[in-house]
A and B are shown apart, each in its own frame.
Chain A
């Protein structure tokens, strides 16, 4: 029964999730053949590295392709956990967001935290690594497996906690706010 309710909540949360609606509305913006892989030798980064390396004899110890590309990849991985992206603004491409809400509903975040337990740490870290493979920042398609995982954690969280009616009103309000932006403003 408990598993059934978790599954039910999981489906409901996905149905309410902004990323899902963006995917349904603009599937071509999520198509795999448009995913731009991370470029290790992009001209901008190469120029930045060369500029910094020329500024001191010590620079070579700290600034090189390996360290600077690691930083860039880490920044893409870390963006996954940036609440500004996750619940407030979303993808930089307006075909994948309303720009006024993130891919995940903010009201789900407390449940994700409640549902989180130690065994989930490794899958979450592995899921977040995927974003590091792609060039665009705040790239939603690469994070869909992670969002599914978040939905599952939120479902576990919801099934664990007794939730007052006021909170459901807040959830409905947030979804309605997203939906009005989604259908009326973009």
Chain B
């Protein structure tokens, strides 16, 4: 075996280790995306239907977010094998995500015929915080990205039909790929002029793969999902519009505040935010599920390596392979740029691959410098990797555990306490302040899907938001209003302290059974029985 292959395999083992180490306990808990994916897979495994009784669907209604099918179906055999637990849920993104690392090495080798660059790019990707973040947990993006990278790798190895078909397959795995895949397919077809026969076969192949998805794509659920996620649902507040018209007059308002200018600028703003040094290298995001405390999505040192790669980019930019690399990077944030969030690491996840290639090229450049620079750089790099590991396992879990924007810590402990005593009560009410409570009770309670399906009902407070299951058997999932609910005898309540204030519990009428704490020792849930 050549040294090159041995190096790539060793990097892959490192990557797999980084993605599997304590995967069931870091991030601290499953978020509701992961739980709902898994329960739907469990439902398919047990009954051949989703939680609402739909037979083998190609989109899963779930909490009203109409999930993609690929991850659900990949989970089915894993849940059979490992059971309905954290490990089964997180294995697919971890294993498939780690496989993108040798695939990236292969892409670099095919594009630049440079083994050193291929190895260094794979190494950079293997330890990239951005990549580790979304391939350890966070579900479908880690699955979708595998199909995209596999597709590109096959295409650049001249397996055009197989490559394009695999890329289109990625559209079954993650929503962002539905915007990204057509762009990257266009880029690949621009890079390689296919013969008429190859083009025809590719078009037929892609059509055959995409055809079953047409129904879900034009469904009301999908349209709603697109509407609520993208800028299409944004409307400026009426008061602001009236103020602007008053100050501008209708003509000036029409010239500078028309939808083309306003939405165009919003998209440009979102697009450029993904290239912000603060986002990439220094602070990252404030969103708890995407955040790594004290860091950006990449290491600071990557900035230096990127700068070192720039002269080569400038030199090579006339060649198609370099052009492809740059255009890959430029189109990658487009799915994120059309959505409502100002910056979104998950939706722009495809950026990490061309960025890793550029950083890898910079690393090879650095390796040709004096030994002193190499030692200095390796020292800084190791320090940064150490900071990242410490942040991932210590700092970040202590700041990102709360609520649906974070990792929704506390539900597992709540279910483990409530399930054994549920028969003592006529009714059990769980507050929905942290969202997704019904899914956690189904998941950790391993509630039989054939019993849940006839009871499944999704309730939405906001038509543009996500929903909640309303309840099953004795369980009700709703907002607790304590002044009213404290009079409901024979009922068990569980909710956050702001919903069940301890000062309002009359010990002759109600009893605090259990307090569940967050990792920072603040209260997550009070479990109270009304006598």
Give A contacts to B, CB under 8 Å: 52, 55-56, 58-59, 61-63, 71, 74-75, 78-79, 81-84, 87-89, 106, 176-177, 180-181, 184-185
| Other-chain residue from A62, A78, A89 in contact with B281 (beta carbon distance below 8 A) | A78
| Other-chain residue from B256, B272, B294 in contact with A84 (beta carbon distance below 8 A) | B272
Contact B256 A180 (CB under 8 A): yes
Contact A84 B248 (CB under 8 A): no
B383 on interface, CB distance cutoff 8 Å: yes
How far apart are the CA atoms of A185 and B383 in the complex, in Å?
48
B residues within 8 A CB of A88? 265, 268-269, 272
Please give the distance in Å from B262's CB to the nearest CB on chain A: 10
Contact A75 B283 (CB under 8 A): yes
0 or 1 for each of B119-159: is its CB under 8 Å from A? (1 = yes): 00000000000000000000000000000000000000000
B residues within 8 A CB of A55? 394-395, 398
A residues within 8 A CB of B326? none
The residue in chain A whose Cβ has the minimal distance to the Cβ of B280 is A78
B275 on interface, CB distance cutoff 8 Å: yes
How far apart are the CA atoms of A52 and B295 in the complex, in Å?
13
Contact A71 B282 (CB under 8 A): yes
Question: Which residues B262-302 have CB closer than 8 A to chain A?
Answer: 265, 268-269, 272-273, 275-278, 281-283, 293-294, 300
Contact A59 B394 (CB under 8 A): yes
Contact B252 A82 (CB under 8 A): no
Please give the distance in Å from A99's CB to the nearest CB on chain B: 12
A-B contact pairs, 15 of them (CB 8 A): A52-B293, A62-B383, A62-B386, A75-B282, A75-B283, A78-B277, A78-B278, A81-B277, A83-B276, A84-B272, A106-B268, A184-B248, A184-B252, A185-B244, A185-B247
List the 8 shortest-distance A-B pairs measured between CB atoms, nearest first.
Answer: A78-B277, A83-B272, A62-B387, A75-B282, A82-B276, A56-B394, A184-B247, A88-B269
- Answer whether A78 and B244 are a contact pair too, CB < 8 Å, given A55-B398, A88-B272, A177-B256: no
B residues within 8 A CB of A52? 293-294, 395
How far apart are the CA atoms of A98 and B272 in the complex, in Å?
19
The residue in chain B whose Cβ has the minimal distance to the Cβ of A178 is B256
- Answer whether A74 and B300 are a contact pair too, CB < 8 Å, given A63-B294, A82-B278: yes
Question: Which residues B291-343 have CB closer than 8 A to chain A?
Answer: 293-294, 300
Contact A79 B278 (CB under 8 A): yes
A residues within 8 A CB of B256? 176-177, 180-181
The residue in chain B whose Cβ has the minimal distance to the Cβ of A85 is B276
- Answer whether A84 and B269 are a contact pair too, CB < 8 Å, given A74-B300, A75-B283: yes
A-B contact count (CB 8 A): 63
Contact A58 B282 (CB under 8 A): no
The residue in chain A whose Cβ has the minimal distance to the Cβ of B247 is A184
The residue in chain B whose Cβ has the minimal distance to the Cβ of A80 is B277
Chain B: interface residue total (CB-CB under 8 A): 28
Please give the distance in Å from A112's CB to the nearest CB on chain B: 14
B261 on interface, CB distance cutoff 8 Å: yes
A residues within 8 A CB of B272? 83-84, 87-88
B residues within 8 A CB of A84? 269, 272-273, 276
Please give the distance in Å from A54's CB to the nearest CB on chain B: 10
B199 on interface, CB distance cutoff 8 Å: no
Contact B395 A78 (CB under 8 A): no
Question: Which residues B402-423 have CB closer than 8 A to chain A?
Answer: none
Question: Which residues B396-449 have CB closer than 8 A to chain A?
Answer: 398
Please give the distance in Å from B276's CB to the nearest CB on chain A: 4
Please give the distance in Å from B333's CB to the nearest CB on chain A: 12
**Quick one: which of A58, A71, A79, A84 has the most chain B CB within 10 A?**
A84
B residues within 8 A CB of A74? 282, 300
B residues within 8 A CB of A185? 244, 247-248
How far apart are the CA atoms of A55 and B293 in the complex, in Å?
13
B204 on interface, CB distance cutoff 8 Å: no
B residues within 8 A CB of A63? 294
Question: Which residues B487-507 have CB closer than 8 A to chain A?
Answer: none
B residues within 8 A CB of A61? 386
The residue in chain A whose Cβ has the minimal distance to the Cβ of B244 is A185
A residues within 8 A CB of B265? 88
Contact A177 B261 (CB under 8 A): yes
| Other-chain residue from A62, A75, A83 in contact with B275 (beta carbon distance below 8 A) | A83
A residues within 8 A CB of B294? 52, 63, 71
A residues within 8 A CB of B390? 56, 58-59, 62
Please give the distance in Å from B263's CB to the nearest CB on chain A: 14
- Answer whether A82 and B244 are a contact pair too, CB < 8 Å, given A75-B282, A88-B269: no
Please give the distance in Å from B312's CB to the nearest CB on chain A: 14
Please give the distance in Å from B166's CB to the nearest CB on chain A: 34
Please give the distance in Å from B465's CB to the nearest CB on chain A: 27
Please give the distance in Å from B279's CB to the nearest CB on chain A: 8
